[in-house]
């Protein structure tokens, strides 16, 4: 195991953090827009976790890298379109530097000037399962979540250009710490969902993707994107980005090497989201599995193990409904208003609930009921304490967003904390912050805008049908009707 340098927090005139854990949690649970926390992690040992240190820590262990092209395209680079290599971080670092040693290595087929590599979404608890003592290097307790550390966090390591397609996370809110290099975030509010043309193909539980390449949009095919309002920020090392529930985000590595960690905070409103995700899984698997195998496309995201059977999906749906019913009996605040509650407990690191083919009914219950919520009444912020320690992520001009210009930083992206160089609506558990924020006429309008005007050339595919059938607005309606049927 690699030895980290002795941890000496930077000298400051005042070692007191700008927000107490209680205040930080209050902000996270009630803030309705993305924001960057500064000067909150200056004493976290994890700030030593640059790629070189992690390479020594992994000591030759290989991890999977997703490979994508740097060439600008109007089509998102979904994970189903990427290739994958198994390599060590040492080999990755040699490749990014163009060292001759990588000529015959796992990256030998990829020119670093044309390709990027991304070791994304790595559960720290899994890749460092034999080094559990390092979990304590990550101290989410400073944000009001005691006991939460690296065990409930994920690691992201990428080269310049590495990106995550624009999507929203169905569950929870997100805290992201930048450690090495910079990443640029393009965020869109839940109200822009229709403008982003949501799709569930490729299918991945808890991720709703956008059909639009948000930094190079095809406005002929996606004209409504002109109305989308991007909030753009470049995150520097030492800064923590708060991504509210159901905010869309596209993330791209700016510098040659980037390292970041994150943790998803589960919310009580996620109980209904799990019902919606179970409905979506059942429909997508049923429809796509019915296609002729010789003509089927790559519809299952690599992060999903494999398509699950209809029986398993129904068990999962029943488990999600049962969990929702149980949650309704305990997640009511003192005044009886479920929209004013949050959760004292947080979920495990598995934001996305993978389904195995051999899952039985009891397993399905555990997938939706392991959080063990303890409900408390959330305080409502009288005034958001924005300033040098909490920087709002502001929208960029609508003109820039609609023209599809290259990445443009908002004013907030230029702010640096004093030591920073070194998956929203009303959070607080309200289910009204669902991505369903317009009526069904909007869905019909969106479908019409995507259709060709020449009906003789129109051929409706399975994916076209699914885009309508499992649209977030429709799924929300179906979940509401289903829960009404079972008496909730």
Determine how many CB atoms are found less than 10 A away from the CB of residue 256: 16
Tell whether the model's pLDDT for residue 360 goes beyond 60: no
Question: From CA 373, how far away is CA 327, in angstroms rounded?
Answer: 8
Region 80-96: what's the mean pLDDT? 96
**Digit-coded pLDDT (tens) for 207-237:** 999 999 999 999 999 999 999 999 999 999 9
Task: Tell me, yes or no, whether 362 lies in a domain.
Answer: no
Residue 13 confidence (pLDDT):
46
Integer CA distances (angstroms), 201 to 78, 167, 283, 284, 464, in order: 9, 12, 12, 9, 10
- Alpha-carbon dihedral angle through residues 96, 94, 60, 177, given to the nearest 10 degrees: -30
Q: Residue 424, Cα to own-chain centre: how many angstroms? A: 13
More confident of the two residues 274 and 361: 274
Region 241-251: what's the mean pLDDT? 98
Integer CA distances (angstroms), 476 to 261, 435, 468, 483, in order: 31, 8, 13, 11
**Digit-coded pLDDT (tens) for 5-52:** 444 455 454 589 999 999 999 999 999 999 999 999 999 999 999 999
Task: Tell me, yes or no, whether 374 lies in a domain.
Answer: no
Residue 99 confidence (pLDDT):
77
Task: Tell me, yes or no, whether 180 lies in a domain.
Answer: yes
Residue 22, classified by CB atoms within 10 Å of its CB into exposed (0-12), middle (13-18) or buried (19+), is exposed
Q: Among residues 443, 448, 426, which one has the least CA distance to residue 380?
A: 426
Can you give the length of the chain in residues?
488
Task: Tell me, yes or no, whether 43 lies in a domain.
Answer: yes
Integer CA distances (angstroms), 284 to 278, 289, 300, 434, 435, in order: 10, 8, 10, 20, 19
Lowest-pLDDT range, 71-85, 232-246, 315-329, 433-447?
433-447
Integer CA distances (angstroms), 51 to 152, 172, 183, in order: 20, 28, 15
Task: Tell me, yes or no, whether 142 lies in a domain.
Answer: yes
Task: Tell me, yes or no, whether 305 lies in a domain.
Answer: no
Question: From CA 78, how far away is CA 68, in angstroms rounded?
Answer: 9
Q: Which pLDDT band holds residue 101 (cuts at 50, 70, 90)?
A: low
Integer CA distances (angstroms), 27 to 143, 273, 380, 389, 400, in order: 9, 22, 9, 12, 30
Tell whether the model's pLDDT for residue 451 goes beyond 60: no
Q: Could you report how far apart the first and last alpha carbons of the chain are, in Å?
A: 52
Cis (ω within 30 of 0) for the bond into 326? no
Q: What is the rounded average pLDDT for all residues in the chain?
A: 81
Task: Tell me, yes or no, whether 340 lies in a domain.
Answer: no
Task: Please provide the DSSP assignment of 396-428 as one string.
Answer: PPHHHHHHTPSP---GGGG---TTTT-----TT
Residue 4 near residue 53 (C-beta atoms within 8 A): yes
Q: Which pLDDT band holds residue 342 (cuts at 50, 70, 90)?
A: very low
DSSP 70: -
Both structure tokens of 310: 């209809």
The number of domains in the chain is: 1
DSSP 488: -
Residue 284 near residue 470 (C-beta atoms within 8 A): yes
Region 445-449: what's the mean pLDDT? 48
Structural domain boundaries, residue 214: 21-266+384-431
Task: Tell me, yes or no, whether 211 lies in a domain.
Answer: yes
Name 234's bridge partners. Answer: 184
CATH for 192? 2.60.120.650
Lowest-pLDDT range, 43-47, 352-356, 385-389, 420-424?
420-424
Determine how many CB atoms are found less than 10 A away from the CB of residue 64: 14
């Amino acid at each position: 195991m690699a030895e980290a340098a002795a941890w000496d927090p930077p000298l400051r005139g005042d070692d007191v953090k700008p927000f107490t854990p209680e205040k930080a949690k209050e902000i996270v649970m009630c803030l309705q827009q993305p924001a960057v926390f500064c000067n909150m992690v200056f004493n976290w040992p994890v700030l030593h976790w640059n790629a070189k240190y992690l390479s020594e820590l992994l000591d030759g262990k290989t991890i999977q890298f997703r490979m994508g092209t740097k060439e600008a395209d109007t089509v998102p680079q979904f994970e189903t379109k990427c290739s994958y290599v198994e390599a060590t971080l040492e080999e990755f670092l040699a490749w990014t530097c163009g060292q001759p040693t990588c000529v015959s290595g796992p990256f030998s087929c990829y020119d670093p000037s044309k390709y990027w590599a991304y070791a994304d979404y790595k559960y720290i608890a899994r890749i460092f399962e034999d080094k559990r003592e390092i979990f304590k290097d990550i101290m989410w307790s400073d944000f009001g979540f005691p006991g939460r550390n690296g065990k409930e966090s994920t690691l992201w390591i990428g080269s310049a250009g590495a990106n995550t397609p624009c999507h929203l996370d169905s569950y929870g809110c997100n805290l992201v710490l930048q450690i090495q290099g910079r990443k640029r975030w393009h965020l869109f509010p839940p109200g822009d969902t229709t403008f982003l043309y949501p799709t569930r193909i490729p299918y991945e539980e808890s991720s709703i993707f956008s059909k639009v390449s948000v930094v190079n949009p095809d406005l002929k095919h996606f004209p409504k994107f002109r109305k989308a309002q991007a909030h753009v920020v470049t995150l520097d090392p030492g800064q923590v980005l708060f991504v509210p529930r159901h905010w869309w985000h596209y993330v791209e590595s700016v510098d040659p090497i980037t390292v970041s960690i994150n943790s998803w905070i589960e919310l009580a409103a996620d109980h209904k989201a799990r019902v919606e995700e179970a409905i979506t899984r059942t429909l997508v698997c049923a429809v796509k599995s019915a296609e002729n195998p010789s003509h089927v496309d790559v519809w299952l995201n690599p992060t999903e193990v494999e398509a699950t059977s209809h029986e398993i999906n129904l068990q999962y749906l029943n488990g999600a409904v049962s969990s929702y019913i149980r949650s309704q009996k305990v997640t009511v605040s003192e005044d009886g208003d479920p929209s004013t509650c949050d959760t004292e407990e947080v979920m495990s690191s598995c934001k996305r609930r993978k389904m195995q083919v051999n899952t039985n009914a009891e397993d399905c219950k555990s997938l939706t009921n392991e959080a063990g919520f303890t409900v408390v009444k959330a305080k409502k912020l009288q005034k958001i304490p924005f300033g040098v320690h909490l920087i709002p992520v502001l929208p960029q001009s609508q003109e820039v967003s609609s023209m599809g210009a290259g990445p443009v930083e908002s004013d907030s992206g230029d702010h640096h904390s004093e030591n920073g160089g070194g998956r929203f609506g009303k959070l607080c558990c309200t289910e009204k912050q669902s991505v369903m924020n317009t009526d069904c006429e909007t869905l019909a309008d969106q479908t019409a805008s995507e259709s060709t005007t020449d009906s003789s050339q129109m051929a409706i595919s399975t994916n076209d049908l699914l885009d309508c059938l499992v649209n977030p607005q429709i799924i929300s309606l179906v979940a509401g009707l289903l829960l009404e049927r079972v008496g909730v």
